[in-house]
Structure 1
Amino acid sequence: MSQNFPIARPGMRIGLLGGSFDPAHQGHAHISRVALRRFGLDQVWWLLSPGNPLKAKGPAPLAARMRRAREVMPDPRIKITDLEQRLGTCFTADTLRALQAHYRQVDFVWLMGADNLIQIDRWDHWQDIFDRMPVGVLARPGVRLRARCSKAARVFAHAKLPGWRSQELAAGPAPRWCFINMPMSSESSTRIRDAGDWKSPAREA
C-alpha cells in the first residue's frame, strides 16, 4: 500500500464521502455517523477534494480544510483523507476506480446527500459510479422529493434497495443503491462561509 494511505483490512466495509468540505461541519459528522449505523459500515473516509470541477471559485487550501475536518470529526471510525490529491484524480469516477485498484479486498460504498443525487447526472462518467460500487444516499433538508424523482433515481430504479434493507447495501454487487431518511441537520458549508465563521489562512489574507 502506498505511503500515508489509510489501512484497511480485507473484507472491511468502508463508506466514501467526497466533497470540498469548505468547511467541514457537524452536518458532515452527522451523516457519517448515520451512514456507519444504517449501512453497517466499519469506517467512513472523507475524501477532501483539491477542487470542485462544478464550482467556479476554488476552495480554501487543502491543509486548512484538513485541520478543520479533524477538529469537527474526532471519531476514530472516520478517516480524514487527501486521497484524491495523492491519487492525482479529479473526477469521482476516476477516484473510485483508483481506490478499488488499491484496495482490492475492501467493500466500498459511495455516500452522498440527496442534493447530490439530483445533480449527479452532470458529473463526469456518473453512471460508472453506480455501476462500480453500491451507493448510499442520505436525506437532506428540502430535497427528498426532487431526489426521488431525479434522473439518476429513474435510470437506476431497478437497482434500488428499500430503506429497511440498508444493512445489505455493502454486501451486494453494483449497481445497487439505497435512500435512507434520517434526522436532518440544516447546517451547510455555504451558510458557515456566508456567516463569516470559516476563516482559513487564505480567506484571511
Structure 2
Amino acid sequence: MRKIGIMGGTFDPIHIGHLIAAETAWEHGNLDEVWFIPTADPPLKETTPSTLAADRYEMTRLAVVGNDRFRAVDVEIKRGGVSYSIDTVKQLQGQHPACSFSYIIGSDRINDLPKWNRIQELADIVDFIGLERPGDKPRLDQLPPYLQRSLRMVEMPQIGISSTAIRMRLLEGAALRYWVPEPVRDYIRRHELYGSTTHHGAGPG
C-alpha cells in the first residue's frame, strides 16, 4: 500500500516554504508521495482567498512540476464549497483504495485540530505528521488522547516566508525571486495577480 501525505492549504500563493515542508514530511514520514490539495473555501480562516481557485490550483501544479514525488490534486476545488478534511480523505480513500493517507500539518495549526470538523472520525482513518519549527512548540499535552496517539512530530527548519508576506511584497512592488518557484512567479506576472503588473515585483526581480 502506498503511503500518501496530504498537504492542504489555500496556497495563495504556494511558495518555497510549502515545498520545503512537504519535502521534510516526505523524508521523515516515510511517504511515497505528497499530494498538494488547494482548498476551495477554507473553514477555519477568517478571510477568503485573494485569487480564484483555478489560479491557486494552477500555481500549485506549476510549483511541483519536475518532482515525481509531488502531485497537485484538485479534488476540493472540483467539489466546491467549504473544504472539510474528513470529506476529502473519504473521497480519496474511495478513489485510491491502494493508498493510505497522512495529514501534514504545521506546528502553528496543531492545537487547532480539535476544532476540525468530525476530527475524531478523521483521526481514526489517517495519522498526522506535525512539522515542528524552531521556537514554535505546540502544546501536545492539551490535545485529546486520540490525537496524541495519531500525531507524529518531525523537525523542520524555520522558513520565514508566508503567502501573506508575498502578497504584501507584490503590493509594494518588491521582487519575488527565490520566494516562489520560477514558474509560479511567471504565472503571477502574466496574470497580474495580487495587484502585481509586468512592471514591478512579479516581474524580473
> Same fold by TM (over 0.5)?
yes
Q: Deviations over 1:44-87 (max 9, x none)?
A: 00011112122233211122112322343332211012111234
Name stretches of at least 5 consecutive residues in structure 2 with no aligned partner. 171-175, 177-184, 197-205
| Paired position in structure 1 for 2:29 | 39
1:195 aligned counterpart, secondary structure:
helix
Greater mean alpha carbon deviation, residues 193-202 or residues 131-140: 193-202
Q: Cα gap change, 1:113/1:150 in structure 2, threshold over 3 Å: closer, same or farther?
A: farther
Indicate the RMSD between aligned Cα atoms, in angstroms: 2.3
One of 83, 91, 100 as aligned partner of 2:84: 91
Matched, 1:111 2:104: yes
Greater mean alpha carbon deviation, residues 26-35 or residues 101-110: 101-110
| Paired position in structure 2 for 1:163 | none
| Paired position in structure 2 for 1:185 | 159
User: Aligned-pair distance for 1:90?
Assistant: 2.3
Matched, 1:65 2:39: no
Larger radius of gyration: 2
One of 62, 68, 78 as aligned partner of 2:70: 78
- Corresponding letter in the other structure for 1:106: C
| Paired position in structure 2 for 1:148 | 140
Q: Cα gap change, 1:184/1:202 in structure 2, threshold over 3 Å: closer, same or farther?
A: closer
Verify the 8 A CA contact 1:141 1:186 in the aligned structure 2. no
| Paired position in structure 2 for 1:131 | 124
Greater mean alpha carbon deviation, residues 193-202 or residues 64-73: 193-202
- Corresponding letter in the other structure for 1:133: V
One of 83, 94, 98 as aligned partner of 1:101: 94
User: Aligned-pair distance for 1:137?
Assistant: 0.8
Verify the 8 A CA contact 1:15 1:111 in the aligned structure 2. yes
User: Aligned-pair distance for 1:141?
Assistant: 4.9
- Corresponding letter in the other structure for 2:78: R
Pairs aligned (count): 176
Name stretches of at least 5 consecutive residues in structure 1 with no aligned partner. 1-10, 160-175
1:14 aligned counterpart, secondary structure:
strand
Between the aligned partners of 2:102 and 2:10, the Cα distance in structure 1 is 19
More RCO (CA 8 Å, sep 6+):
1
1:115 aligned counterpart, secondary structure:
coil
Question: Percent identity at matched positions?
Answer: 27
Between the aligned partners of 1:202 and 1:183, the Cα distance in structure 2 is 29
| Paired position in structure 2 for 1:17 | 7
Q: Cα gap change, 1:193/1:142 in structure 2, threshold over 3 Å: closer, same or farther?
A: farther
Verify the 8 A CA contact 1:87 1:98 in the aligned structure 2. no
